[in-house]
A and B are shown apart, each in its own frame.
Chain A
Amino acid sequence: MFGVKAFELIRDLTLTGPEALPLYNSETVRQVLEEMRVLYERNQRDVNNSVNEDSSYLGTVHLRHAALERNKRCLLAYLVNRLQRIRDLRWDFGSVLPGDVAGSLCEQEVQWLQNYNRHLATYMRGLDGLDLTQEHCPPKSLCLEVRCLQDYGLFELEDGEQVLLKKDSIHLLPRSECLMLIRQGVLEHIPH
């Protein structure tokens, strides 16, 4: 049946939930493109036939064309939604995505992300270096109590003080400086 493969792509996206990025499904994308090629060729043939005043093919041509449009729409929706999620992940993790996520991107998406990072950096440079990717929630306190999840080593604070981040140690650090480490999974916020 037409359009099934394209629908599979969309289902891929919904099955993983709105935040996770499923592995780029290159095989299905290829099959959809192949299906479109076949549909188009058959349509082309039938249109050529119907030029010779045999209009009995027209219904089929319409049906195939609708299938083509649907495939196109589904495929583009799949790609655009993936880009949207990649963008969200980039805002969460910073400009370098963690290995397991980066693995589910295809080559062109990696390229897109690099360009995106460049454009975003250009934009933020125009703002006197204001970093928009920090502080996603309104700040409630200056310092956060954090637990260290791994041996990170020495971490230098903005005022020059050095903190030794050892596994399972607990610190009270200025929020602006530890937010990035929390997102990277080095530290864990201990809520009160």
Chain B
Amino acid sequence: MFTSIYIITTPDIELINLSQLLHPQISVCCHLNIFKMSSMDTPSNTLQDSDLHDLGLSDDEPETATSVLNKFQTAWINEKLSPEILSYQGDYVECLMEQIKHMDNNVRKLDKRDLRSGLHALELSRIKYMLTDYLRVRLEKIEKYTYTILEAESSRSGDNLFLSEGEFQFAKDFFGNTQTALQTIALRHFPRPLASFDPAKMSVQPPMNSYVFVKAKKEVSGLIVPTHDPEEQDEELDLEENSQHILPYSSVAALVKDGTIMLI
């Protein structure tokens, strides 16, 4: 849905073409062509594999703004629907932020009476919304499950972190702040043996067993789904490609994270 507008503008693409929209010095993965969908696409517009390797994007296909957007959209939907926090899509976020900034400038340069300027600006605000909402949903989860998330994060190693640096700092600050507030209002007035506060016992846990709607992007075989009845055996399930199911989140958590299935 976000790409539709780029197709509309195809015939007159010179007016807002790549050279205007993309700053030549945009660094790293933002050096992508934004109108992959358009007829302007020539081999020279797509990045070479070797370039991508330098950029740290090891995908076989060259990354275009459209594909980044699509992938980010999936990540956003997953994040919005999953009960626990997923790993931070830092590359996509940075890339989109650069793109937005750049397109913002270009849209501003356009004649205001031009119909396309309005359409572009609206499309841009939609992408912006997607980005801010992604970050917002993550913050909400961090605030709600601060302790659980911080605990899990501290057990992860350098390359495998789920939070961005800013989010991690925010989580720590938020946790400390809330602790201090509880301490000063209530805990310090409690009789001494009760005055301790054990967040492990009292904090809210994400509802990992809540049911989610999922769609398999690839075929999955032998998925184990636990049953509620202790006497029955756990169910084993095969998911066909593109099939949709309602399953407890805990049974598919790993598959959501590696991108085999997505939440819907």
Contact = CB atoms under 8 A, between A and B. Distances in A.
Interface stretch (A10-18, A48-56, A129-137, A180-188): A129-137
B218 interface: no
A135 B165 CA distance: 24
B132 A80 contact: no
A36 B190 contact: yes
A111 interface: yes
Nearest to A78: B186
Contacts of B174: 116, 119
A106 interface: yes
A104 B165 CA distance: 34
A33 B187 CA distance: 10
Interface in A147-192: 175-176
A128 to B, nearest CB: 6
A142 B118 contact: yes
B57 interface: no
B173 A119 contact: yes
Interface string B69-104: 000000000000000000000000000010001000
A116 B194 contact: no
B126 A120 contact: no
Nearest to B170: A123
Given A79-B181, A80-B178, A119 B170 contact: yes
Contacts of B178: 80, 83, 112
A173 to B, nearest CB: 14
B153 interface: no
Interface of B: 97, 101, 118, 121-122, 125-126, 128-129, 131-133, 135-136, 139, 143, 165-167, 169-170, 173-174, 177-178, 180-182, 184-186, 189-191, 193-194, 197, 202
A139 interface: yes
Given A76-B202, A115-B177, A132-B139, A139 B126 contact: yes
Contacts of B101: 128
Nearest to A44: B191
Given A83-B181, A112-B178, A122-B170, A33 B125 contact: no
Interface of A: 29, 33, 36-37, 40-41, 68-69, 72-73, 75-76, 79-80, 83-84, 87, 106, 108-109, 111-112, 115-116, 119-120, 122-123, 126-128, 130-132, 134-135, 138-139, 141-142, 175-176
Given A33-B186, A115-B180, A142-B121, 9 more contacts: A40-B193, A40-B194, A79-B185, A108-B184, A119-B170, A119-B174, A123-B169, A138-B126, A139-B122
A127 B181 contact: no
Contact of B132 (A79, A115, A134): A134
A28 B191 CA distance: 17
Given A80-B178, A130-B97, A176 B170 contact: no
Q: Which 9 A-B pairs give the minimum distances between C-beta atoms? A: A40-B191, A126-B166, A119-B173, A112-B181, A123-B170, A115-B177, A139-B125, A33-B189, A108-B184
Contacts of B136: 132
Contacts of A73: 202
A173 B182 CA distance: 43
A37 B189 CA distance: 9
B165 A68 contact: no
Nearest to A141: B122
A45 to B, nearest CB: 13
A72 B189 CA distance: 11
Nearest to B203: A80
Given A76-B202, A87-B143, A126-B165, A36 B194 contact: yes
Contacts of B165: 126
A120 B166 contact: no
Nearest to A75: B186
A84 B204 CA distance: 13
A130 B132 contact: yes
A21 B258 CA distance: 41
B185 A106 contact: yes
Nearest to B186: A75
Nearest to B174: A119
